Amino acid sequence: MTFGVAAILWAMRAQSASTYEVRQSRIRTAGIVVLCSLLPVTAMTIGLQDLSTRYMFFIIGLGFEATILALFRRRVGSAVRRELLFAIDEQGVYLGPDKYGRPARRESWSTIDSIVHFKGCVWTTSSRPNPDRHVGIVQGGSIVTSRAIDGWWFSVRRAAAAADHFGGGTPVLRAPYFDQVPREWFHTIRLPREWLATNSGSRAD
């Protein structure tokens, strides 16, 4: 009986260790908010030392701090809840919401040919944006959905191990750079024919 229980516990630990999850970090979020609040808090402190003559420091600092908290409201709420941002498990791949407003989506293993990570630009204004790192799902030679990696780190090694364990060897690959990454959640990005030929049958990158 003892041996059987130990074997079950070992199997459960092994399966849990193979699951790859990324959740919103409370420590990182708190650090970002504190860093951005340094100047407004300093201004309010200066104002509080003598409100009769330095009240403008307090008012300006308070205004900026309120703006910062409003901008980070969703991020702070996400961190408090430890929101799931990305996961590879027995059900498939979970892609959480990103900064471009694309909602959460889960892809089952039956629809996944490979998982890719790549850099690309999402054009939301007339100015040229900086390229973001993305993670996406490939099906039938196209990236059928992707999310920007914003405020978290994508571990290729852990993702590849989880995809191999749960996805029956589904590869995790590096895709080419894309200058135009659609903002819509239902977008598709056609992968270059040369890339598909080179990476057909690949295990991981």
Please indicate, yes or no, whether the overall pTM of this predicted structure exceeds 0.85.
Answer: no
Does any domain span residue 19? no
Report strand pairing: 105-108 vs 114-120: unpaired
Length of the chain: 205
Instruction: Please name the amino acid found at residue 8.
Output: I
The parent domain of residue 142 ranges over 97-199
CA 33 to CA 69: how far, in whole Å? 8
| Strand residues in the chain grouped as ranges (E) | 20-23, 84-89, 92-95, 105-108, 114-120, 132-139, 142-148, 172-174, 189-190
Does any domain span residue 140? yes
In the DSSP assignment, the letter for residue 171 is -
Does any domain span residue 133? yes
Does any domain span residue 64? yes
Are 39 and 119 within one domain?
no
Are 152 and 68 within one domain?
no
Q: Work out the pLDDT band at 2, boundaries 50, 70, 90.
A: low
C-beta separation of 136 from 187 below 8 A: no
| Phi and psi angles of residue 87, each rounded to the nearest 5 degrees, phi first | -155, 145
> Mind listing the pLDDT tens digit for each residue in 57-84?
888 888 888 888 887 777 777 778 788 8
Residue 18, C-beta contacts closer than 8 angstroms, at least 6 positions apart: 161, 162, 165, 166
Are 76 and 101 within one domain?
no
Q: Work out the pLDDT band at 154, boundaries 50, 70, 90.
A: very high
Question: Structural domain tally of the chain?
Answer: 2
Are 76 and 102 within one domain?
no
Does any domain span residue 173? yes
Are 151 and 113 within one domain?
yes
Are 113 and 59 within one domain?
no
